[in-house]
Amino acid sequence: MNAMNSKGWKNLRNLIIGITATSTSIKKSKMTTSSSTRPEPPATPTASTTKKEAVSAATTTSATTATENLSPSTCSLEEYERTREKLLAQDRGLAFDTQAIARATKVERSADQVVKRIRQHERAHLGVSPSNGGGSSEHFLGNLENINRSQLMEISKMMPKGAHLHCHFNTCLHPSFLIRQARGMKSMFIRSSVALVRPEDFACAAISFAVLSPDTPRSDVFDRGYSPLGWAPYPDFLERFPTQMLGGEGPESWLANKMIIREQEAHDIHQTTDGIWNRFNQSTQMLKGLFGYESAFRRYVGEAIQSFLDDNVMYAEVRPNFFDKFIMTDNGLGKLDHFAWMTIIREEIASKMKQLAENGRKEDFRGFKVIYCAPRSIEKKDMKWCLDDCMALKREFPDLICGFDMVGCEDRGNPIRHYLNELLEFRRTCDAAGLDIPFLFHAGETLRHGESTDENLFDAILLGSKRIGHGYGLARHPELMKICRERGIALELCPISNEILHLCPSIQGHSLPILLTNGVPCTISSDNPAYFSSTLSHDFYQVMSGFDSMSLHGWRVLAEWSLEHSCMNAWEKSCALAEWNRKWEAFCQWIVEEFGSNKR
């Protein structure tokens, strides 16, 4: 018999003590969301009640009881194995989906088994697992082709995902959508950081667009004597683009591909966190002008709702950047302010909802709200302007504006604390005026620890953030995890974005399992799918394929949490959850019928 040495026993004892302490602290905590802004819970059982019961169930047996009589120097193999099983069971009992598993219907359990079988099969035969050694890549971008033809992805697409809570408005759709909109726009201009003469110029050029007045001085980007950043008419660019020189790739494809981040760019051995953010910002700069005029902005709303529907999302909160004060009219002569933006959004939502009702799909989409975003790089006086602007828009569009956030690379921009006076004043004014504009701060999208960026998590919580955008770094702060668990502050995790922007080397390094085991409510989002060749379905695919601890029951809890922690009011949530439950049952049935008994 292999007796455990004293060091091993000490480690085991420490582990047990740790588990007991965690269990006790979780047991004491209130798992329901307790913010004063929270509406009454809906009648449908929610993920938070599920979690409360799960944790309670997990703590009914003391971990010490399971192991206290085990002495490695005298125990038999059988005793050791029995105690080990108990310890594993106690650890698994802390899992966030414990109660969802306990409550699962027969068909749900069958569907879960089918999903697990497919996951195992595809790891072995499709090479989509980062850990099987036979996969094409450890990275999402390297596995994308295989993922897109996998059955697990087919299931992920069909999954009713509830709410999509973290998506930047201008990057909801593939870049080709905006490029198509720009076709025939006489007032659209393009510019480059270098003259576009040789193939290598095309590779290194930074491109941007703008809708400008017809009398704008014109340059020729294809001329050797081109002065960088001179504006060239876009229709001319399309007509004269040297397709042959670029191996047959046409201008629209070239432009779209230039905005999409490739595996090599994200994961090159010499790539750095700073470098990938430069690459990211290049795409953002390129997209900005393509988005900034009336007809594109208008069409984007309906198309974004359609893309959410296609992804089986029933409600969305999107984040437009409001720092630019205007978008242009299509003729390049007029400017539309934020009031006009919101009017366009309201009109286009109404139009899309009418169309859905006519097609019998009214129940499928429950709403689209706007989180006001300002860049974290601006001066304090500009932040004050944005905060005042946000309140003014909330007064005019109370059902549309649902929160306030700051955007941009956290490691480069100002910390939340930089704007403390302005944010506190905003909070006071909102409360006095009865304006419900919760903070929904990006925080913890960093690998730094103990620095001002990392401390954004502390300020987000102190300022009463309803949810936290990303919160990746929260797993390094036990006290903050406890607060999020107790107050029901949900995280908007974006696994693919985090991998591509260098927070984790692959999905398996993501902090999701730590956060979930510690009882932190988590939701899954796609952040900037336009740049990542992804959809929300891909993010759900990643968490299912990346972690054996993830199950169909876990997916269920993540989706329920997304609705529960959304900015919908109590009535809207209750209706959405009831509809979501119907969809979930049908989804499980579909999995069993379509893939059960090795049908495919």
Which residues contact Zn ion (rule: CB under 5 A)?
Answer: 527
Q: What are the structure tokens assigned to 504, written together? A: 């984790």
How far, in Å, are 1, 81, 88 from residue 74 at the CA level? 10, 14, 21
Nearest to Zn ion of 169, 315 (CB atom) = 169
Q: Which residue blocks in 318-409 are alpha helix, DSSP H? A: 338-358, 380-396
Nearest CB to Zn ion, comparing residues 221 and 266 = 266
Per the listing, tokens 């059982």 go with: 45
In 3D space, the residue among 497, 547, 496 whose CA is nearest the CA of residue 517 turns out to be: 547
Shortest distance, position 105 Cβ to Zn ion, whole Å: 35
Nearest distance from C-beta of residue 494 to Zn ion, angstroms: 7
Q: Would you say 122 or 527 has its CB closer to Zn ion? A: 527
Q: Collect all residues with Cβ–Cβ distance below 8 Å to 136 and sequence separation of at least 6.
A: 127, 142, 143, 145, 146
Of 169 and 177, the one with the shorter C-beta distance to Zn ion is 169
Burial class (CB in 10 A: 0-12, 13-18, 19+), 326: middle
Beta-sheet pairing, 313-319 with 368-375: parallel
**Which residue lies nearer to Zn ion by CB, 454 or 527?**
527
Of 401 and 588, the one with the shorter C-beta distance to Zn ion is: 401
For residues 369-408, b (16+ Cβ closer than 10 Å) or e, as one string?
bbbbbbbbebeeeebbbbbebbbebbeebeebbbbbbbbb
User: Quick one: 494 or 558, whose CB is closer to Zn ion?
Assistant: 494
Q: Cβ closer to Zn ion: 238 or 503? A: 503
Asked whether the CA dihedral 244, 249, 251, 254 is positive or negative, the reply is negative
Please list the residues that pair with 331 across neighbouring strands.
none
- As measured in angstroms, the least distance from the Cβ of 335 to Zn ion is 27
* Min separation Cβ 363 and Zn ion, Å: 29
> In the complex, what is the shortest distance from the CB of residue 513 to Zn ion, in angstroms, rounded to a whole number?
21
Position of minimal CB gap to Zn ion = 527
Residue 167 vs 558, nearer CB to Zn ion: 167
Minimum distance of Zn ion from residue 260's CB (angstroms): 17
Output the smallest distance, CB 43 to Zn ion, in A: 33
- Minimum Å gap between C-beta 476 and Zn ion is 20
Q: Do 162 and 560 form a contact (C-beta atoms < 8 A)?
A: yes
Cα-based angle 207, 208, 210 (whole degrees, multiple of 5): 155
- The Cα 418–Cα 76 span in angstroms is 61
Minimum distance, C-beta of residue 280 to Zn ion, in the bound complex (Å): 11
- C-alpha 318: how far from its chain's center? 11
